[in-house]
Amino acid sequence: MDSALAVLRPPPHDPETPALSVVDMHTGGEPLRIVLAGCPEVVGPTLLAKRRYMRQHLDHVRRRLIFEPRGHRDMYGAVLVQSELPDAHLGVLFLHNEGYSSMCGHAVLALGRFALDYGLVPVPFAGSREARVNIHCPCGLVAAFVACEDGRSRGPVRFHSVPAFVLATDLMVDVPGHGKVVVDIAYGGAFYAFVSAEKLGLDICSAKTRDVVDAASGVTEAVKAQFKINHPDSEDLAFLYGTILTDGKDAYTKEPTTNICVFADEQVDRSPTGSGVTARIALQYHKGLLELNQTRAFKSSATGSVFTGKAVREAKCGDFKAVIVEVSGQAHYTGTASFTVEDDDPLKDGFLLK
């Protein structure tokens, strides 16, 4: 068979359903599937309205991208849309196995590279070592700074978060199988519950993934049932995204502190979790454990990948004292794909196995 024909000729598919063309990346092991073409127009006057529209009218696109047989239960995706903000270079909707997130740090780090390499931002001036990419996320405008050389991305990316704050500390919740557990809740573009894995009888560095998922999910469900999440700007942002289990090493040290995030429908983040690092920095600053511009390293117990984070300045979010957090990490390209649909396929919109 002619190898060129094998690559160029599309398989039999429904001509009424455009192929979904994607670029795949990962940041610290956590995947990101970026849609280049094939997604119907996502309409709405604001990004949050577009998020609601996609959930109500285009959820089959998410399922086809994220679910098996094209994806898997831990796949993550991004659909690029127009932003209503004049300073934004692009808007983005984040997709996961349960729905649509308000923020995703690993995706922002990857999208910074993608936006520069695919011409979504002006080419940096000759000799520039860094390019700025303003990304409108559902939580707000996030600035990414992409290391570059000759107009192409090279090396790490960093971003400055939306105002990150602490919603509750030392909150006691009743977790089935574990009894009373003390947790903290903080916001880094999304809300997370934080708890030392040791309080749940686990060693974060050696525990089996299934045990981590069960324990973290139990905390998430307990917090949802026993505590009201609120956000001063929008009800669309007022939900608990997941639970992050830590090694309990919150006091400052130059050594990395380890954590793992379980979010959405028992989805496990392979990276240290960018928005989770943002929230954890806000929590440590709130507790007086960190100073401004004091950098900490955060290590994923899943892959060993590392992000760094620091609080760069104080801010406000409604009545909450907040900080702007800088998170840094490295994203890599892994390939491209074109996904098609046959109209008689009973599993064309995907499925997940528990």
Catalytic positions are 104
DSSP element (H, E) containing 313: strand 306-317
Going by C-alpha positions, the residue among 259, 332, 352 that lies closest to residue 300 is 259
| DSSP bridge pairs for 167 | none
Cα-flanking dihedrals φ and ψ of residue 259, to 5°? -150, 170
Count Cβ atoms within 10 A of the Cβ of residue 349 and give its class: 0-12 exposed, 13-18 middle, 19 or more buried.
Answer: middle
- Rounded CA-CA distance 225/244 in Å is 18
Q: What is the DSSP letter of 236?
A: G
- Rounded CA-CA distance 185/165 in Å is 9
CA within 13 Å, CB half, 226: 19
